[in-house]
Amino acid sequence: AGPFAFTLFTLGIVGTGLVGAYTTFSTFTFDTVHLLESREWAPSAVNMVLSLGAGLGAAALGLALGSLT
C-alpha cells in the first residue's frame, strides 16, 4: 500500500462528500443565477451572502473542533 491507500469505507465517505458538495454548489449556482436573471437583486444578494457566510462559518467551526485535544 502506498501513501494514499484508502479503505472502501473511506472512499465511500470521501465520494459521498464530493458528490454532496458538487450538488450543493450546483443548486446554489442555479438558484443565484435564476434570481439574477429575474432581476431579483436583493434576494440574490441575500442568497450569496448567507450561503458564503454559512459555509465559512461551518469551515471555521470544523477547524476549531478539529484542533481540540
Grid cell, residue 64, equals: 476549531
Please count the CA atoms within 13 angstroms of the CA of 59 that sit on its side-chain side. 6
Query: What's the gap between Cα 69 and its chain centre?
Result: 26
Q: What is the pLDDT of residues 8-67, one digit of tens each?
A: 999 999 999 999 999 999 999 999 999 999 999 999 999 999 999 999 999 999 999 999
Q: Is 6 a residue whose pLDDT tops 70? A: yes
pLDDT at 4: 74
Q: Is 1 a residue whose pLDDT tops 70? A: no
pLDDT at 5: 77
DSSP character string of 55-68: HHHHHHHHHHHHT-
